[in-house]
Structure 1
């Protein structure tokens, strides 16, 4: 308040109302305003953004401490003096980077009481504040360090941007510095892109650089490019943080980044006006992360059905129809973009027919990855698929490197390129679709698939497998021949492992119904042999992933589909021992099962994803593990056995080991609080009130009791079906 002069009235005057800090549109609609020019809300609605009074200034009721606002001191300001800035403050403000006017304004705002800030800011800074604001890495409460570390700090502090409405989020404020964004983009290209090659690196990098230049110069935001960048950041952060942080931190951070990608799609009105960049963003999240944990406002954008619908809206399923080809030739559309569209469409088709094989933590974020054909798995989608081959006209992608993507001729399939794995996965997907077409009528009518049909489908799988290029094979000759290639292009060695697991896991799945019968009936012996061979191959591939160069930079145990295949292969070997416990090679087969169990144990130790999934599958295995009553011993007592269902942990050790009730001495000695209840308790294989029991001990017990397991054909088929469904750990 100004000092009154002598001739002025001494009557108290009502203080003028503070000028509004929100724009007029946001005040009328009572929505949150980010106080930019124009604000994000008006920009998304494409209306004029006007302010009253002193403009878009956000007052703060209290001063911010020195440790939060940097080197600007917290000077007190009295109402009886004009607002003055010290000479030191002026020098500090004027020398501050021109790329940081918003943060400087916030500091001055906290010091100089909000609505009076325009009169106190130096003229040079006022000119900067009148321009559109460049992006910032953090929100109103800045953190120390890079944008990514600040984002992690916000997550640890319980700050979740996903609690906001996606249409009002100020997206640019969450973008990391350009160098950090490009670093994570390179991480994505090196460690994740080889699974689903749906971006052209040079094209996407150019879009990212252009995005940052546009934002720095105050140009309008390209929301679809922002969505693509956030989707890449979400995926790269998830796997990068799994190696340094807990799985909870990795999942929370990736979930928030994925929400920002969804918010960008919402603000761009992507559903009504889809774009290639928006579709790429949705596909990256749909392939690599789990939409089950996302805010419901954006989760539907990343589901497979929505991806297919958006691709059709873009006309990707008609790319090579005569009418579209004629229009393309007339307008001279970019050939490289047309080839990219083919890649996107066939990726969706192969995903539909042969659900990719690297499932992560809670996927389907659908779906967390790898070769799984949706229609060829148990569950509500079993024996169905979405994309019908007669309802599209799209040429297959060419076997070409990205730098010559626009050339209309491809290289022979025997030559390795960035598209080799995609094309081989597509070939396997087509065989899986044929399996669904042949088997679905029988399964949907409750009939058993004839063995002749199984053999015919087996021939198709074997034929496709025999046509795999040599650099995707695991025989000694091929491994020696392409050893140098694997070191130069690590992704080809990793893709080789995935394609091998994809084929052999499906052979096991195809012959499952006749697996046990083949051990007793010579008519079905081929199914028994193929199932065992394929299960052993899956385990061998996992050992190569863990032990041979080039090692997976993102440990293969983080990919749930890999570990799911390994667990299923181990169970196939276990069931074989149970049905052939008196075989002459029984001891050797038991050791083979224990070796597989050790693979699972090592995966549990290095990956929380694998640990959660294996625990879930062990619960299913325990539920189905029933034993017959043992014969009476010569001493007149019944031999010990666990109750059904469930394991009796005391059966792992002699009674002489139990000395004190209610005590767990070590991992090899389990104590019970009440010895009378030990046969009535159902023990969780890993996290029980009795303490943690090593996985190898549980499997050893199952092998020791294998002669007394009461599994008939329906029982073990139900077991394998439920284990197949356990591809989304923690989603129940």
Structure 2
């Protein structure tokens, strides 16, 4: 073999390279990495990687670099709405992190293969599982592009779609941080319109934590993962409720992706083994605000109540005020704000635990947090800014940000007492003595009497605090939630004697109280919708509110069945239909409400369908056009379209026999609007044979259909 001398090598290195026969059409980065270039200036690949985009000699001197993020952050949101959303917000310090091998590399490779000339042969070479996932991703991305609106807030709306396809333990979280200005806007929205339901954060502290995250990113330092999880949890809840009015499907998708990022931050921070206050706040915010959503399965286990309790116990939150910890705080001069925050978080967990123990479901008649196993003082009734200065609680008559939480806790304590007094009877299939029901009724009324005046609906209180409601609208909204919570529990307490009370004078009190409380629940919902300040977000999107409305409507519906020949029967029917219209409007405004109402309607129709026509009447039922049916037909144009209702009807609610059921079903459109179904049930109420145990089971199943977030 001929040897090559050193001189020949030098000469070959100095010789000019042969020019290509045609100018390249892709930028240098895309040619180097063998990527498909869109030939923009700069191209999308360079935008994604925030690198210089250079097309070489044929465009000599022309290069486009992406401006630093610090220059684009302050640009007004509307100026950037028309720009193509970036799928990744790249941070230069990502190169400093050792990146794990992307588990979706086969997906990305298959996606590139489909873009080459021989793409029609690719499907046979790509595994079926990869083809299915690629198809799903394309459908999701297409859906997002169809629903992009100015209120989407940032290019993150597209970028988040990629996040959940990655491994939560390795996803690069700083890449998905939206601009600071937009995060602060979402944070302010959360504080103004969501925090009043569950006061889980101290706003000025969280604001400092958010600023710290962005300072760490700017200085190429490690971010605090627990605080980052809290940031993404606030983003998830704020985005969901902000976008509901414009594109509910898009709101749910974007919120789920932000939830995935919050869970990823917790996983990367090893939250289960090393829990933190910020991590607990993040999980509780998502668990409360988005508890009825279909959360990403890879992180959903982090956002369930039993996980909250477990992590709080690991941090010894149930012993905050034990002698040992009090002595330790005295010797070390512990942060009083942190101690008060721990009390608030623990009591929120206990309150939720005791409230749902008095709701049907797998947790019915039991609770996890035992009062004998905790040493935690009630949170102070003071403003957040005064925690460091005031060590004594203000009277409950003084309105603060904690007033609602304290009233809610008092209701939860009574619910716990109800479970303690009645669980033995229910678990052993025995009837609760009526004297116990009356004693527990007095406890509920006593607690209701202790509600401060600014949480009351009487005319004197509303006039006295009208200025306060204008200045602090959250107090007016909390007033509605407090009152609805108490009256719905009264309905539930007397549920087992409600039907019997319509026949037997000994239990007539239960019948009267149930009707009064049901009407009060519906009246409060009307006030939420009509009175100033108007509820924000709309009360129809809050499932706890609509769950109580549905149960109240069913109580009134059952009462119509017992009083079908009453002189006020038509007024009672119109009362039920008015509640039905509330449910119809809620279906239009929230996917959560739509799913919950559809599930409960399925149970209601199942029970109604199997009711028997009483043979003692000896007559086939006639179906004249009643006022309720006419009203429903007149208002149909104001209701949802059948496709959005989600309900299906294969037969009228009542019929003499199965053959007529099938014949009638063939003549009816399917599915029926919600109000038409309720109108049919009202029209057939005179022909229903009522059986007390069956109706009690109906109310139990309705509560069990979907648990509201209290």
Question: How many pairs align?
Answer: 590
State how far apart, in whole Å, the 2-side matches of 1:311 and 1:216 are.
33
Aligned equivalent of 1:575: 558
Aligned equivalent of 2:55: 75
Aligned equivalent of 1:258: 259
Aligned equivalent of 1:466: 449
C-alpha displacement of 1:295? 3.4
State how far apart, in whole Å, the 1-side matches of 2:679 and 2:95 are.
71
Aligned equivalent of 2:685: 706
Structure 1: give runs of 5+ residues left out of the alignment. 13-57, 79-84, 102-127, 134-138, 355-373, 643-647, 654-663
Aligned equivalent of 2:697: 718
Aligned equivalent of 2:123: none
Aligned equivalent of 1:629: 613
Aligned equivalent of 2:315: 314
Q: Deviations over 1:574-626 (max 9, x none)?
A: 11110122233323222222222222233333334333322222221111114
C-alpha displacement of 1:262? 0.8
C-alpha displacement of 1:694? 3.2
Q: 1:689 to 1:187 in 2, by over 3 A?
A: farther
Say if 2:442 is the partner of 1:492.
no
Higher helix share: 2
Aligned equivalent of 2:165: 163
Q: Is the 8 A contact 1:291 1:299 kept in 2?
A: no
Q: 1:585 to 1:63 in 2, by over 3 A?
A: closer
Aligned equivalent of 1:149: 154
C-alpha displacement of 1:561? 1.4
Say if 2:420 is the partner of 1:445.
no
Aligned equivalent of 1:28: none
State how far apart, in whole Å, the 2-side matches of 1:592 and 1:696 are.
12
Moved more, 598-607 or 309-318: 598-607
Matches within 5 A, 1:146-225: 148-154=153-159, 159-225=161-227
C-alpha displacement of 1:289? 1.4
C-alpha displacement of 1:425? 0.3
State how far apart, in whole Å, the 1-side matches of 2:287 and 2:538 are.
21
Aligned equivalent of 2:68: 97
Out of 347, 369, 374, the position equivalent to 1:392 is 374
C-alpha displacement of 1:153? 2.8
Aligned equivalent of 2:8: 7
C-alpha displacement of 1:59? 4.1
C-alpha displacement of 1:637? 8.3
C-alpha displacement of 1:380? 1.2
Say if 2:545 is the partner of 1:562.
yes
Aligned equivalent of 2:128: none
Q: Deviations over 1:19-68 (max 9, x none)?
A: xxxxxxxxxxxxxxxxxxxxxxxxxxxxxxxxxxxxxxx94545452152
Secondary structure in 1 aligned to 2:204?
A: helix
C-alpha displacement of 1:314? 1.1
Q: Is the 8 A contact 2:560 2:569 kept in 1?
A: yes
Q: Deviations over 1:170-211 (max 9, x none)?
A: 001011000011100111111110000010000000110111
Aligned equivalent of 2:383: 401
Q: 1:723 to 1:433 in 2, by over 3 A?
A: same
Structure 2: give runs of 5+ residues left out of the alignment. 14-31, 73-91, 98-103, 109-140, 631-641, 652-657
C-alpha displacement of 1:6? 7.3
Secondary structure in 2 aligned to 1:195?
A: coil
State how far apart, in whole Å, the 1-side matches of 2:622 and 2:95 are.
81
Q: 1:74 to 1:208 in 2, by over 3 A?
A: same
Q: Deviations over 1:240-262 (max 9, x none)?
A: 111111x3221111111111111
Matches within 5 A, 1:220-259: 220-245=222-247, 247-259=248-260
Matches within 5 A, 1:48-63: 59=33, 61-63=35-37
Q: Is the 8 A contact 1:237 1:254 kept in 2?
A: yes
Q: Is the 8 A contact 1:131 1:218 kept in 2?
A: no
Q: Is the 8 A contact 2:259 2:296 kept in 1?
A: no
Q: Is the 8 A contact 2:152 2:243 kept in 1?
A: no
Q: Deviations over 1:541-580 (max 9, x none)?
A: 0000011000012111001111111111111011111012
Q: Is the 8 A contact 1:197 1:419 kept in 2?
A: yes
Q: Deviations over 1:363-402 (max 9, x none)?
A: xxxxxxxxxxx21111111100000000010111000001
- Note the aligned Cα RMSD (angstroms): 3.7
State how far apart, in whole Å, the 2-side matches of 1:226 and 1:129 are.
17
Say if 2:297 is the partner of 1:296.
yes
Question: TM-score, normalised on structure 1?
Answer: 0.74
Q: 1:463 to 1:728 in 2, by over 3 A?
A: closer
Say if 2:360 is the partner of 1:382.
no
Q: Is the 8 A contact 1:561 1:727 kept in 2?
A: no
Q: Is the 8 A contact 2:613 2:689 kept in 1?
A: no
Question: TM-score, normalised on structure 2?
Answer: 0.76
Matches within 5 A, 1:273-352: 273-290=274-291, 293-352=294-353
